[in-house]
Structure 1
């Protein structure tokens, strides 16, 4: 796997916003994709320095959820977890950011010993303090490692008119939840089925539709 070649500070910042220039609602609040990449890299570094679950605890949003494989409130579950001797390592490959810059999603690859896999993380930024915490995190092992890109992909939601948020309903027995950025230009849907298989879908407003940018599917765990 190639190392990431692009430093965080070299990411292009996406600026500007369409629509009426006098409409303050159409202006992003310093949208900065590199800030979410920096948060993810800092999260990964903290796991190596202080321990895997310590890093998860210290960077989590109060409403954060994770999957073990059922959905759990992260802070409650993490209270009982001891850090493993070897923390997983991970690197972001892409970042997607809401128009107003207060929500973002990162996705990439992880490694631990001979195992490797993928992850996706949703982040929320406090517009007053600028602090960024993760609010959803999930991932899974894969048989073929994801190759690191030469450059981290970066995309910001379109600004201007706001999208109509679609109504979604899960199948009978599904545990489904939908999250939205405050400006409704980034959404995340997570579904855990009765067999503990899972799907996490991230969508970004492109000016016409909520386009899918991440669509992760995790198979059911085999019963012993």
Structure 2
């Protein structure tokens, strides 16, 4: 049997809600720190969206929340890439929800796209990590467009402070290609990609025939696109 998607394995945990952030007094300790630039990026708005996502998961069910906060074109891995809304349709809710916490946030200069990475914990003691990509539909309104992750032998070390990094703004020499719009809507397949409206944050994934995969995120820093995150997931051992 194919294993479930791996932050979806947590929630079966996808989408990125901040149960820890929503819990209470620890909120102040985990507010993101970042140096704002000249753009309109606001990582705190993305964190707020995640808190709302978590609240919905607790109050309405985790799959209901995943569906409600997913973009129409959102992709998850089960382990093959699938349209999230199709996979979630009619999905039975688990007896107990997964918990997860964001540790890092990356955001484009214009705030139209963000990426979050963090840890998840299942009620049975299984732990892992997730990476979720969020896209802004309108100001302050984010929906996730890609969710993935994997189980880990040991839990991720929780940072003292949720960290956030904002891309440099476009406009310098050689930025012409960065501001081109990537309007292609890639079907869920073995390859996928996306970018922010200003081109300062991009992502790509590739899935092999055995369902191993990688995800890479790049953002503009010091005048060049720099890879800031790479996640590699091994082929599932329990394939049919």
Q: TM-score range by the shorter chain?
A: 0.7 to 0.9
Q: Which ranges of 4 or more aligned residues in structure 1 deviate by more than 2 Å?
A: 3-17, 160-165
> Residue 22 of structure 1 aligns with which residue?
none
> Residue 168 of structure 1 aligns with which residue?
none
Displacement after TM superposition at 1:12 (Å): 4.1
RMSD (Å), alpha carbons: 2.1
Displacement after TM superposition at 1:88 (Å): 1.2
Counterpart of 2:126 (choices 108, 115, 135) is 115
> Residue 135 of structure 2 aligns with which residue?
124
Alpha carbons 1:6, 1:152 under 8 Å: kept: no
Match of 2:87, SS state, is helix
Which digits, 9 at most, give the CA deviation of each residue in 1:73-132, with x for residues without a partner?
Answer: 1111111311111111100000000010111000000000210000011111123x4311
Higher relative contact order (CA 8 A, sep 6+): 2
Counterpart of 2:73 (choices 63, 71, 74) is 63
- Once structures 1 and 2 are overlaid, which stretch shifts more, 130-139 or 91-100? 130-139
Residue 43 (1) aligns with residue 53 (2): yes
> Residue 62 of structure 2 aligns with which residue?
52
> Residue 143 of structure 1 aligns with which residue?
153
> Residue 80 of structure 1 aligns with which residue?
90
Q: Distance in 1 between matches of 2:229 and 2:55?
A: 24
Displacement after TM superposition at 1:50 (Å): 1.6
> Residue 228 of structure 2 aligns with which residue?
213
Alpha carbons 1:6, 1:151 under 8 Å: kept: no
Alpha carbons 1:204, 1:212 under 8 Å: kept: yes
Aligned residues between the structures: 202
Displacement after TM superposition at 1:186 (Å): 0.6
> Residue 105 of structure 1 aligns with which residue?
115
Residue 202 (1) aligns with residue 195 (2): no
Matches within 5 A, 1:163-202: 164=177, 175-202=190-217
1:163–1:44: structure 2 CA closer, same or farther, 3 Å change rule?
farther
Displacement after TM superposition at 1:35 (Å): 1.0
> Residue 3 of structure 2 aligns with which residue?
none
Unaligned runs of 5+ in 1: 18-27, 166-173
